[in-house]
A and B are shown apart, each in its own frame.
Chain A
Amino acid sequence: MLNPRDPDQEAVGDIAPRLEQQLDAPAREWLRQALAEAEAQPQKSTWELHFASAGRQCGRAAALDARVLLLHSAGPDTVTLTRLYHQGTAAERAAVLRALPHMAVGKTPDAVPLVEDALRANDTTLIRAAVGRYAAAHLDRHGWRHAVLKCLFTGVPVRSVNDLARRARGDAELARMLRDFAHERTAAGRSVPEDLHHVLELALESAPAHPPEEF
Protein backbone atom coordinates (compact mmCIF):
# COMPACT_ATOMS: atom_id res chain seq x y z
CA MET A 1 0.00 0.00 0.00
CA LEU A 2 1.16 3.56 -0.57
CA ASN A 3 1.06 4.51 3.05
CA PRO A 4 -0.18 1.69 5.28
CA ARG A 5 -0.41 4.09 8.21
CA ASP A 6 -3.24 6.17 6.79
CA PRO A 7 -6.24 4.86 8.72
CA ASP A 8 -8.70 5.28 5.84
CA GLN A 9 -6.77 2.68 3.89
CA GLU A 10 -6.68 -0.18 6.34
CA ALA A 11 -9.39 -2.41 7.70
CA VAL A 12 -10.92 -0.75 10.74
CA GLY A 13 -10.26 -3.94 12.73
CA ASP A 14 -6.52 -3.52 12.16
CA ILE A 15 -6.34 0.00 13.55
CA ALA A 16 -7.11 -0.75 17.20
CA PRO A 17 -4.44 -3.44 17.78
CA ARG A 18 -1.81 -1.34 16.02
CA LEU A 19 -2.79 1.76 18.00
CA GLU A 20 -2.84 -0.06 21.34
CA GLN A 21 0.76 -1.11 20.83
CA GLN A 22 1.76 2.54 20.58
CA LEU A 23 -0.04 3.63 23.74
CA ASP A 24 1.06 3.44 27.35
CA ALA A 25 -1.23 1.75 29.87
CA PRO A 26 -3.26 4.81 30.98
CA ALA A 27 -3.85 5.92 27.38
CA ARG A 28 -4.84 2.37 26.40
CA GLU A 29 -7.32 2.26 29.23
CA TRP A 30 -8.69 5.68 28.29
CA LEU A 31 -9.14 4.56 24.68
CA ARG A 32 -10.99 1.36 25.61
CA GLN A 33 -13.37 3.23 27.85
CA ALA A 34 -13.88 6.04 25.33
CA LEU A 35 -14.67 3.57 22.54
CA ALA A 36 -17.06 1.65 24.78
CA GLU A 37 -18.90 4.87 25.67
CA ALA A 38 -19.04 5.95 22.03
CA GLU A 39 -20.56 2.63 21.04
CA ALA A 40 -22.99 2.38 23.97
CA GLN A 41 -24.19 5.99 23.96
CA PRO A 42 -23.60 7.56 20.57
CA GLN A 43 -26.39 10.09 21.27
CA LYS A 44 -24.65 11.48 24.35
CA SER A 45 -22.12 14.22 23.84
CA THR A 46 -19.55 12.51 26.11
CA TRP A 47 -17.92 10.78 23.18
CA GLU A 48 -17.55 14.10 21.37
CA LEU A 49 -15.53 15.31 24.33
CA HIS A 50 -13.32 12.23 23.93
CA PHE A 51 -13.04 13.06 20.24
CA ALA A 52 -11.76 16.55 21.14
CA SER A 53 -9.37 15.41 23.88
CA ALA A 54 -7.82 12.45 22.05
CA GLY A 55 -4.60 14.38 21.45
CA ARG A 56 -3.81 15.04 25.08
CA GLN A 57 -4.98 11.56 26.12
CA CYS A 58 -3.09 9.54 23.50
CA GLY A 59 -0.44 11.99 22.25
CA ARG A 60 -0.58 13.88 19.00
CA ALA A 61 0.97 11.08 16.93
CA ALA A 62 -1.69 8.54 17.92
CA ALA A 63 -4.65 10.94 18.00
CA LEU A 64 -5.65 10.49 14.36
CA ASP A 65 -6.12 6.75 14.75
CA ALA A 66 -7.93 7.19 18.06
CA ARG A 67 -10.34 9.70 16.54
CA VAL A 68 -11.05 7.49 13.54
CA LEU A 69 -11.92 4.64 15.90
CA LEU A 70 -14.18 6.89 17.96
CA LEU A 71 -16.04 7.99 14.85
CA HIS A 72 -16.40 4.40 13.75
CA SER A 73 -17.74 3.35 17.16
CA ALA A 74 -20.20 6.21 17.50
CA GLY A 75 -21.30 6.18 13.87
CA PRO A 76 -22.71 9.73 13.78
CA ASP A 77 -25.16 10.67 11.02
CA THR A 78 -24.12 13.04 8.25
CA VAL A 79 -25.47 16.11 10.05
CA THR A 80 -23.48 15.37 13.20
CA LEU A 81 -20.40 14.44 11.20
CA THR A 82 -20.61 17.69 9.25
CA ARG A 83 -20.89 19.66 12.48
CA LEU A 84 -17.90 17.82 13.98
CA TYR A 85 -15.89 18.67 10.90
CA HIS A 86 -16.79 22.35 10.85
CA GLN A 87 -16.35 22.79 14.59
CA GLY A 88 -13.14 20.77 14.57
CA THR A 89 -9.48 21.69 14.84
CA ALA A 90 -7.35 20.84 11.83
CA ALA A 91 -6.48 17.50 13.46
CA GLU A 92 -10.15 16.69 14.11
CA ARG A 93 -11.10 17.61 10.52
CA ALA A 94 -8.42 15.31 9.16
CA ALA A 95 -9.81 12.50 11.34
CA VAL A 96 -13.33 13.02 9.98
CA LEU A 97 -12.00 12.77 6.43
CA ARG A 98 -9.97 9.65 7.18
CA ALA A 99 -12.90 7.98 8.93
CA LEU A 100 -15.33 8.36 6.01
CA PRO A 101 -14.63 4.98 4.35
CA HIS A 102 -15.34 3.28 7.69
CA MET A 103 -18.77 4.85 8.10
CA ALA A 104 -22.16 4.44 6.46
CA VAL A 105 -21.90 7.90 4.92
CA GLY A 106 -18.73 6.72 3.21
CA LYS A 107 -20.80 4.75 0.74
CA THR A 108 -22.67 7.89 -0.33
CA PRO A 109 -21.55 11.18 -1.87
CA ASP A 110 -23.03 13.11 1.08
CA ALA A 111 -19.64 13.98 2.59
CA VAL A 112 -18.16 15.37 -0.62
CA PRO A 113 -18.70 18.98 0.61
CA LEU A 114 -16.31 18.22 3.49
CA VAL A 115 -13.64 17.03 1.06
CA GLU A 116 -14.19 20.14 -1.03
CA ASP A 117 -13.83 22.31 2.06
CA ALA A 118 -10.53 20.66 2.98
CA LEU A 119 -9.29 21.07 -0.58
CA ARG A 120 -9.92 24.82 -0.31
CA ALA A 121 -7.54 24.93 2.67
CA ASN A 122 -3.85 25.65 2.46
CA ASP A 123 -2.95 23.35 5.34
CA THR A 124 -1.19 20.43 3.67
CA THR A 125 -2.18 18.02 6.45
CA LEU A 126 -5.82 18.68 5.50
CA ILE A 127 -5.16 18.43 1.78
CA ARG A 128 -3.45 15.06 2.33
CA ALA A 129 -6.38 13.82 4.37
CA ALA A 130 -8.80 15.05 1.71
CA VAL A 131 -7.28 12.98 -1.11
CA GLY A 132 -7.75 9.67 0.66
CA ARG A 133 -9.94 6.70 -0.15
CA TYR A 134 -13.24 8.57 0.08
CA ALA A 135 -12.19 11.20 -2.45
CA ALA A 136 -10.95 8.50 -4.83
CA ALA A 137 -14.40 6.94 -4.78
CA HIS A 138 -16.62 10.03 -4.77
CA LEU A 139 -14.96 13.16 -6.15
CA ASP A 140 -16.17 13.98 -9.66
CA ARG A 141 -13.59 14.17 -12.42
CA HIS A 142 -13.20 17.93 -12.40
CA GLY A 143 -12.85 18.08 -8.62
CA TRP A 144 -10.44 15.18 -8.59
CA ARG A 145 -8.18 16.69 -11.26
CA HIS A 146 -8.01 19.94 -9.32
CA ALA A 147 -7.20 18.00 -6.15
CA VAL A 148 -4.22 16.41 -7.91
CA LEU A 149 -3.12 19.79 -9.20
CA LYS A 150 -3.48 21.30 -5.73
CA CYS A 151 -1.19 18.59 -4.34
CA LEU A 152 1.42 19.50 -6.95
CA PHE A 153 1.06 23.20 -6.14
CA THR A 154 1.34 22.79 -2.38
CA GLY A 155 4.02 20.12 -2.36
CA VAL A 156 1.84 17.30 -1.07
CA PRO A 157 3.46 14.13 -2.47
CA VAL A 158 1.15 12.54 -5.05
CA ARG A 159 1.69 9.16 -3.42
CA SER A 160 -0.77 10.53 -0.83
CA VAL A 161 -3.48 10.54 -3.50
CA ASN A 162 -5.44 7.36 -3.07
CA ASP A 163 -6.01 5.23 -6.15
CA LEU A 164 -4.00 7.67 -8.26
CA ALA A 165 -3.06 5.26 -11.02
CA ARG A 166 -6.60 4.04 -11.69
CA ARG A 167 -8.15 7.49 -11.77
CA ALA A 168 -5.35 9.18 -13.71
CA ARG A 169 -4.90 6.54 -16.36
CA GLY A 170 -5.96 7.71 -19.82
CA ASP A 171 -7.28 11.04 -18.49
CA ALA A 172 -6.53 13.33 -21.44
CA GLU A 173 -7.90 16.43 -19.70
CA LEU A 174 -5.65 15.83 -16.69
CA ALA A 175 -2.70 15.41 -19.04
CA ARG A 176 -3.53 18.76 -20.65
CA MET A 177 -3.72 20.49 -17.26
CA LEU A 178 -0.40 19.01 -16.21
CA ARG A 179 1.30 20.02 -19.43
CA ASP A 180 -0.02 23.58 -19.11
CA PHE A 181 1.21 23.74 -15.54
CA ALA A 182 4.63 22.42 -16.55
CA HIS A 183 4.77 24.98 -19.35
CA GLU A 184 3.91 27.81 -16.97
CA ARG A 185 6.69 26.72 -14.64
CA THR A 186 9.26 26.37 -17.39
CA ALA A 187 8.34 29.76 -18.86
CA ALA A 188 8.98 31.30 -15.44
CA GLY A 189 12.38 29.67 -15.28
CA ARG A 190 11.25 27.40 -12.46
CA SER A 191 11.61 23.68 -12.09
CA VAL A 192 8.72 21.31 -12.67
CA PRO A 193 7.84 19.16 -9.63
CA GLU A 194 9.16 15.62 -10.03
CA ASP A 195 5.72 14.29 -9.11
CA LEU A 196 4.18 16.02 -12.13
CA HIS A 197 6.07 13.82 -14.57
CA HIS A 198 4.91 10.76 -12.71
CA VAL A 199 1.23 11.74 -12.91
CA LEU A 200 1.61 12.83 -16.51
CA GLU A 201 2.98 9.42 -17.46
CA LEU A 202 -0.04 7.79 -15.87
CA ALA A 203 -2.44 10.16 -17.61
CA LEU A 204 -0.81 9.47 -20.96
CA GLU A 205 -1.17 5.72 -20.65
CA SER A 206 -4.00 4.42 -22.75
CA ALA A 207 -7.34 4.24 -21.04
CA PRO A 208 -8.25 0.89 -19.52
CA ALA A 209 -10.46 -1.52 -21.49
CA HIS A 210 -13.18 -1.01 -18.90
CA PRO A 211 -13.16 2.73 -18.30
CA PRO A 212 -13.65 3.79 -14.71
CA GLU A 213 -17.14 4.68 -13.72
CA GLU A 214 -17.94 8.31 -14.53
CA PHE A 215 -19.07 10.06 -11.37
Chain B
Amino acid sequence: MSFTTMLATMSVGMLRTVGIFLLTLLGSLPLGMIIMFGRKSRLTIVSGAMKILISVIRGTPLMLQLLVWYFGPYYLFGWSIKGYRYTAIIIGFVVNYACYFAEIYRGGIEAMDKGQYEAAEILGYTKSQTFFRIILPQVIKTILPSVTNEVITLVKDTSLAFTLAYQEVFSLAKQISASETSFTPFVVAGVFYFAANYVVAFIMDRIEKSMGYYS
Protein backbone atom coordinates (compact mmCIF):
# COMPACT_ATOMS: atom_id res chain seq x y z
CA MET B 1 0.00 0.00 0.00
CA SER B 2 1.44 3.34 -0.98
CA PHE B 3 1.62 6.17 1.52
CA THR B 4 -1.01 8.14 -0.39
CA THR B 5 -3.46 5.22 -0.43
CA MET B 6 -2.91 4.76 3.28
CA LEU B 7 -3.47 8.44 3.93
CA ALA B 8 -6.62 8.36 1.82
CA THR B 9 -7.95 5.37 3.77
CA MET B 10 -7.05 6.92 7.08
CA SER B 11 -8.56 10.27 6.23
CA VAL B 12 -11.96 8.57 6.14
CA GLY B 13 -11.24 7.49 9.71
CA MET B 14 -10.19 11.02 10.59
CA LEU B 15 -13.51 12.37 9.36
CA ARG B 16 -15.32 9.78 11.48
CA THR B 17 -13.27 10.79 14.50
CA VAL B 18 -14.13 14.43 13.92
CA GLY B 19 -17.77 13.35 13.58
CA ILE B 20 -17.79 11.65 16.98
CA PHE B 21 -16.01 14.63 18.48
CA LEU B 22 -18.44 17.23 17.14
CA LEU B 23 -21.60 15.23 17.86
CA THR B 24 -20.40 14.52 21.39
CA LEU B 25 -19.80 18.21 22.09
CA LEU B 26 -23.07 19.19 20.47
CA GLY B 27 -24.96 16.74 22.67
CA SER B 28 -23.04 16.81 25.91
CA LEU B 29 -22.65 20.56 26.42
CA PRO B 30 -26.43 21.15 26.62
CA LEU B 31 -27.21 17.78 28.21
CA GLY B 32 -24.67 18.57 30.92
CA MET B 33 -26.68 21.72 31.68
CA ILE B 34 -29.86 19.67 32.05
CA ILE B 35 -28.13 17.11 34.28
CA MET B 36 -26.70 19.93 36.38
CA PHE B 37 -30.18 21.45 36.85
CA GLY B 38 -31.46 18.00 37.78
CA ARG B 39 -28.61 17.58 40.22
CA LYS B 40 -29.52 20.89 41.84
CA SER B 41 -33.26 20.24 41.79
CA ARG B 42 -35.20 20.55 45.00
CA LEU B 43 -36.99 17.30 44.17
CA THR B 44 -34.87 14.73 45.96
CA ILE B 45 -35.87 11.99 43.50
CA VAL B 46 -34.48 14.01 40.61
CA SER B 47 -31.35 15.23 42.36
CA GLY B 48 -30.72 11.77 43.82
CA ALA B 49 -31.09 10.10 40.42
CA MET B 50 -28.69 12.58 38.84
CA LYS B 51 -26.21 12.12 41.65
CA ILE B 52 -26.23 8.36 41.09
CA LEU B 53 -25.95 8.78 37.31
CA ILE B 54 -22.98 11.11 37.68
CA SER B 55 -21.16 8.88 40.13
CA VAL B 56 -21.72 5.73 38.06
CA ILE B 57 -20.59 7.41 34.85
CA ARG B 58 -17.55 8.96 36.48
CA GLY B 59 -16.74 5.79 38.39
CA THR B 60 -16.66 3.36 35.46
CA PRO B 61 -14.49 3.24 32.33
CA LEU B 62 -15.93 4.88 29.22
CA MET B 63 -14.94 1.73 27.31
CA LEU B 64 -17.21 -0.36 29.51
CA GLN B 65 -20.03 2.18 29.16
CA LEU B 66 -19.80 1.95 25.38
CA LEU B 67 -20.12 -1.83 25.54
CA VAL B 68 -23.12 -1.54 27.86
CA TRP B 69 -24.85 1.03 25.66
CA TYR B 70 -24.30 -1.15 22.60
CA PHE B 71 -24.97 -4.65 23.89
CA GLY B 72 -27.25 -3.73 26.80
CA PRO B 73 -30.45 -3.51 24.75
CA TYR B 74 -29.83 -7.00 23.35
CA TYR B 75 -28.91 -8.72 26.60
CA LEU B 76 -31.45 -6.89 28.72
CA PHE B 77 -34.44 -6.75 26.39
CA GLY B 78 -33.53 -9.04 23.52
CA TRP B 79 -33.78 -6.14 21.07
CA SER B 80 -32.02 -6.32 17.76
CA ILE B 81 -28.97 -4.08 17.73
CA LYS B 82 -28.45 -4.14 13.99
CA GLY B 83 -27.48 -0.74 12.64
CA TYR B 84 -27.39 0.68 16.15
CA ARG B 85 -23.62 0.79 16.55
CA TYR B 86 -23.07 4.46 15.73
CA THR B 87 -26.01 5.60 17.84
CA ALA B 88 -24.64 3.61 20.80
CA ILE B 89 -21.24 5.23 20.39
CA ILE B 90 -22.71 8.73 20.34
CA ILE B 91 -25.02 8.04 23.29
CA GLY B 92 -22.12 6.61 25.27
CA PHE B 93 -19.88 9.59 24.60
CA VAL B 94 -22.60 12.21 25.07
CA VAL B 95 -23.82 10.84 28.40
CA ASN B 96 -20.28 10.38 29.69
CA TYR B 97 -19.13 13.87 28.81
CA ALA B 98 -22.43 15.44 29.89
CA CYS B 99 -21.83 14.14 33.41
CA TYR B 100 -18.39 15.67 33.55
CA PHE B 101 -19.68 18.96 32.14
CA ALA B 102 -22.57 18.92 34.64
CA GLU B 103 -20.12 18.86 37.51
CA ILE B 104 -18.04 21.62 35.95
CA TYR B 105 -21.16 23.78 35.46
CA ARG B 106 -22.25 23.10 39.02
CA GLY B 107 -18.88 24.16 40.38
CA GLY B 108 -19.03 27.35 38.32
CA ILE B 109 -22.55 28.22 39.39
CA GLU B 110 -21.90 27.54 43.05
CA ALA B 111 -18.86 29.77 42.92
CA MET B 112 -21.00 32.71 41.80
CA ASP B 113 -21.40 35.54 44.28
CA LYS B 114 -24.87 35.49 45.86
CA GLY B 115 -24.91 39.28 45.46
CA GLN B 116 -25.25 38.93 41.69
CA TYR B 117 -28.54 37.07 42.12
CA GLU B 118 -29.74 39.59 44.69
CA ALA B 119 -28.85 42.59 42.55
CA ALA B 120 -30.69 41.04 39.61
CA GLU B 121 -33.71 40.24 41.74
CA ILE B 122 -33.90 43.81 43.06
CA LEU B 123 -33.62 45.18 39.52
CA GLY B 124 -36.60 43.05 38.55
CA TYR B 125 -34.99 40.45 36.29
CA THR B 126 -36.98 37.24 36.01
CA LYS B 127 -35.34 33.98 37.06
CA SER B 128 -34.49 33.06 33.48
CA GLN B 129 -33.23 36.55 32.62
CA THR B 130 -31.03 36.40 35.69
CA PHE B 131 -29.63 33.06 34.64
CA PHE B 132 -29.05 33.81 30.98
CA ARG B 133 -28.06 37.49 31.17
CA ILE B 134 -26.18 37.71 34.45
CA ILE B 135 -25.10 34.32 35.76
CA LEU B 136 -24.34 32.17 32.74
CA PRO B 137 -21.95 34.56 30.95
CA GLN B 138 -19.87 34.84 34.11
CA VAL B 139 -20.00 31.10 34.76
CA ILE B 140 -18.81 30.37 31.23
CA LYS B 141 -15.82 32.58 31.77
CA THR B 142 -14.83 30.89 35.01
CA ILE B 143 -15.30 27.32 33.81
CA LEU B 144 -13.69 27.73 30.40
CA PRO B 145 -10.28 26.35 31.43
CA SER B 146 -11.89 23.19 32.86
CA VAL B 147 -14.03 22.81 29.76
CA THR B 148 -10.95 23.13 27.58
CA ASN B 149 -9.35 20.27 29.49
CA GLU B 150 -12.37 18.07 28.92
CA VAL B 151 -12.53 18.91 25.23
CA ILE B 152 -8.89 18.00 24.77
CA THR B 153 -9.46 14.72 26.59
CA LEU B 154 -12.42 14.09 24.31
CA VAL B 155 -10.25 14.37 21.19
CA LYS B 156 -8.15 11.51 22.52
CA ASP B 157 -11.09 9.57 23.99
CA THR B 158 -12.75 9.29 20.57
CA SER B 159 -10.29 6.45 19.95
CA LEU B 160 -12.30 4.36 22.41
CA ALA B 161 -14.91 3.94 19.70
CA PHE B 162 -12.66 1.12 18.47
CA THR B 163 -14.18 -0.91 21.33
CA LEU B 164 -17.32 -1.23 19.24
CA ALA B 165 -15.29 -1.92 16.10
CA TYR B 166 -16.07 1.48 14.65
CA GLN B 167 -13.51 2.37 12.04
CA GLU B 168 -12.32 5.74 13.20
CA VAL B 169 -8.73 6.79 12.76
CA PHE B 170 -7.30 4.73 15.60
CA SER B 171 -8.97 1.43 14.58
CA LEU B 172 -7.87 1.98 11.01
CA ALA B 173 -4.32 2.68 12.07
CA LYS B 174 -4.24 -0.59 14.00
CA GLN B 175 -5.71 -2.55 11.08
CA ILE B 176 -3.46 -1.09 8.43
CA SER B 177 -0.43 -1.45 10.65
CA ALA B 178 -1.19 -5.14 11.15
CA SER B 179 -1.92 -5.91 7.52
CA GLU B 180 1.00 -3.92 6.12
CA THR B 181 3.39 -4.67 9.00
CA SER B 182 4.17 -0.97 9.15
CA PHE B 183 4.56 1.52 11.95
CA THR B 184 3.66 4.52 9.76
CA PRO B 185 -0.14 4.41 10.39
CA PHE B 186 0.47 4.99 14.09
CA VAL B 187 2.64 7.99 13.32
CA VAL B 188 -0.07 9.36 11.04
CA ALA B 189 -2.70 8.81 13.74
CA GLY B 190 -0.48 10.46 16.33
CA VAL B 191 0.11 13.50 14.14
CA PHE B 192 -3.63 13.71 13.50
CA TYR B 193 -4.57 13.69 17.21
CA PHE B 194 -1.88 16.20 17.99
CA ALA B 195 -2.95 18.52 15.18
CA ALA B 196 -6.59 18.19 16.19
CA ASN B 197 -5.77 19.16 19.75
CA TYR B 198 -3.69 22.03 18.52
CA VAL B 199 -6.72 23.38 16.70
CA VAL B 200 -8.91 22.82 19.77
CA ALA B 201 -6.45 24.62 22.02
CA PHE B 202 -6.25 27.49 19.55
CA ILE B 203 -10.01 27.89 19.35
CA MET B 204 -10.49 27.65 23.11
CA ASP B 205 -7.76 30.20 23.62
CA ARG B 206 -9.55 32.55 21.26
CA ILE B 207 -12.79 32.10 23.17
CA GLU B 208 -11.02 32.69 26.46
CA LYS B 209 -9.43 35.85 25.10
CA SER B 210 -12.77 37.11 23.83
CA MET B 211 -14.00 36.99 27.42
CA GLY B 212 -10.89 38.55 28.82
CA TYR B 213 -12.25 42.08 28.54
CA TYR B 214 -13.26 42.03 32.21
CA SER B 215 -11.94 40.35 35.31
Instruction: Answer yes or no: do A and B interact.
Output: no
